[in-house]
Amino acid sequence: MKIELYLPVYKQFEYEKKFALLELKQITKCFLIDKIESTELGYEFDLTDEARLPALVTSLKRLTYVANIKINSEIIDTYQGVLEKSCPVNGHQKRQPTRYGAHGIHEYKGKFNPQIVSSILHQFSPTKNSKVLEPFCGSGTTLYESSIKGFENVGFDFNPLAVFLANTKLASINLSLPLAKKEMICVISNSKKFADTIYLESNERLDYLKNWFDIEQLKKIESFRLCANKIKKKEIRDSLLCIASNLIKEYSQQEPADLRIRRRKSLLPERCFFEVVQEKAEKYFSSLETVSQVLPANLPVGTAKNIDIRDTLALKDYFDYFDFAITSPPYATALPYIDTQRLSLVWLELASPKNIKVLDSTLIGSRELKKSEQNKLKEDLVENKDKLPEKLHNLCLDMLGSLTDNDGFRRQAMPFLVYRYFVDMKKMFENVLLMLKSGGKFALVVGHNKTTLGGVVFELNTPSYLATLAEHIGWDVSEIVCLDVYHRYDLHQSNSIDSESLVLLQKL
């Protein structure tokens, strides 16, 4: 019996084709498939033992980079094919859909494609009881993908907004969609009425928001928050707040296209905030409805915790607990996650205005550095107080030696920021090593970046540096796989990642 597999309609990168074949070979080896042929549309092979067809189809439907299975004249969608069809934006697109299900509820800069997580999970050969760790959970890509694949998972992040977003996505798995739609209509209706009479008092939080929103816009978003907060079911309340949070920057005086918090030059949207929130919520619930059709019952719902991955003591309950870890970590001079989302942090009462800068400077990869910290880091760097591998220490020394008086204050800080980043990531690797079981595997999707100091261009091969750092503390480096990325053509294309790599580690 001939089995044909069709690839998705979007153009696949070379690494995706490689991953597709790796998954396929892993699935078919227990079915004694001798030869897999590549075709113009995908792959094909022969199944000699037709009695095993039902079990084979069940396994094939889990493939990440295959859209359809053809057996005789019957076409069967894979689970991933159904998931990707649920994306609000679909049709004749050239790029793969990545906002399916809860993945699309809120933008979060720097997140990686859920398909990568799905494929890595399959390549790790997990069992039903496998537990997945996400040391930098961000908005929950790994956690949500692990949950809908049926694996218990826990993630950590020091950014409270990231934890809020991740837990909202995870809770969507058990969301009552009829009730959520009913509550959404009620909140929109009540918010419209309340916006006409709401009084915005003077306090630290509202005074900050008044500085970034026109009063009429602020009345609308604040009335929505207050009405949504009256919903008893947390998963519905948080979903609506999450959807609104994803829109408030568009209605603020912060330039939406800018990662930093700078004053708006573009025009404000003409459509009413309430109208857009309702439209986005309806699309989101529709996407969840499609996804629910392929999800099995009683899925494990993971959790995201607001714990710093460097905090060994706070993580002790998870030592020797996880089978796998998958993450897309920050890199040296990471994206300004806090600046980009500070309006949401304040609006959702996840951080006070005065704590924003403290939070920003605390995250791994932060660009914020006080002069007193810089002086201390210079001493540590020169002495290599934190015992970094020689290769990384020499890089930091070379960067320090390349500085000239012509370098601005941000470039003057670069050697110390990179050194601090390596020290922080060293601690992360040590803690993840403690949390994984023996033989546990760790996958990191890491971007490359570069900087110029004193006219010298430093190509920062972060994947290689992190592999060196991991090996230094006892990890086995299995492989480093180059990944293609979509090129950016927007305001931040000069700062975008040119390439990424998948770093595969194992605890011996």
CATH of the domain at 52: 3.30.70.260
Q: Tell me the pLDDT band of 296, cut-offs 50, 70 and 90.
A: confident
- Token pair belonging to 96: 């793969």
**Kindly report the CA angle at 403 between 397 and 409, in degrees rounded to 5?**
115
* pLDDT, mean of residues 433-451: 95
Is residue 58 in some structural domain?
Answer: yes
Query: Per-residue pLDDT averaged across 265-271, rounded?
Result: 94
> Which two structure tokens, joined as six digits, stand for 24?
């396929």
- Between CA 336 and CA 64 the distance in angstroms is 31
Which H or E element spans position 210? helix 204-210
Distance from C-alpha of 184 to C-alpha of 239, rounded to nearest angstrom: 10
Give tens-digit pLDDT for 351-407. Answer: 999 999 889 889 999 888 888 899 999 999 999 999 999 999 999 999 999 999 999
Calculate mean pLDDT across residues 50-59: 93
Looking at the domain assignment, is residue 446 inside a domain? no
* pTM over cut 0.85: yes
Give the model's confidence band at 91: pLDDT under 50 very low, under 70 low, under 90 confident, else very high: very low
Q: How high is the pLDDT of residue 332? A: 81
Share the mean pLDDT of the chain: 92
**Per-residue b or e along 363-391, where b marks 16 or more CB atoms closer than 10 Å to that residue's CB:** bbbbbbbeeeebeebeebbeebeeebbee
**What value does the CA radius of gyration of the chain take, rounded to a whole number of Å?**
24
Domain count, the chain: 1
* Per-residue pLDDT, 492: 37
Average pLDDT over residues 40-57: 93
DSSP-derived 3-state class of residue 449: strand
Q: Which of 44-53, 123-132, 212-221 has the highest mean pLDDT?
A: 212-221
- Is the pLDDT at 491 greater than 50? The verdict is no
pLDDT exceeds cutoff 90 at 94: no
> What per-residue confidence (pLDDT) applies to 122?
92
> Do 87 and 104 meet the contact criterion of CB atoms below 8 Å apart?
yes
C-alpha 138/C-alpha 146 separation (Å) is: 14
Give the model's confidence band at 184: pLDDT under 50 very low, under 70 low, under 90 confident, else very high. Answer: very high
pLDDT of residue 485: 65
Q: Does 298 map to a domain?
A: no
pLDDT at 26: 87
Distance CA 55, CA 369 (A): 56
Q: What pLDDT score was predicted for residue 89?
A: 56
pLDDT of the residue at 486? 53
In sequence order, what are the beta bridge partners of 322? Answer: 436
Whether 257 shows a pLDDT value over 50: the answer reads yes
Token pair, residue 97, equals 């859909």
Residue 281: partners with Cβ closer than 8 Å, 6 or more residues away: 181, 184, 239, 240, 243
Within a domain: residue 41? Answer: yes
User: Of 327, 310, 329, 334, which is closest to residue 417 (Cα–Cα)?
Assistant: 334
Check residues 125 and 418 and name the one with the higher pLDDT: 418
Lowest mean pLDDT among 141-155, 358-372, 482-496: 482-496
pLDDT value, residue 490: 34
pLDDT in the model for residue 29: 83
Mean pLDDT of 171-181: 96
Split at pLDDT 50, 70, 90, the class of 498 is low
What span, in angstroms and rounded, lies between the C-alpha atoms of 64 and 61? Answer: 9
Question: Is residue 19 included in any domain, yes or no?
Answer: yes
Task: Note whether residue 189 is domain-resident.
Answer: no
Q: State the pLDDT at residue 488.
A: 34
> Where in the sequence is the domain holding 15, given as residue range(s)?
2-77
Residue 88 is predicted with a pLDDT of: 63
Residue 93 has pLDDT above 60, yes or no: no
Three state DSSP letters for 45-100: EECCCHHHHHHHHHHHCCCCCCCEEEECCEEEECHHHHHHHCCCCCCCCCCCCCCC
Cα–Cα dist 290/296, whole Å? 13
Torsion of CA 315, 392, 498, 99, to 10 degrees: 0
d(CA 404, CA 393) in angstroms, rounded, equals 20
CA distances 294 to 35, 78, 119, 150, 232, Å, are 30, 9, 18, 12, 28
Residue 67 resides in a domain: yes
The per-residue pLDDT for 403 is 96
Residue 104's identity, in one-letter code, is: G
11 in a structural domain: yes
Alpha-carbon gap, residue 500 to 508, rounded angstroms: 26
- Band the pLDDT of 90: cuts 50, 70, 90: very low
| pLDDT beyond 60 at 479 | yes
pLDDT band at 302 (very low <50, low <70, confident <90, very high): very high
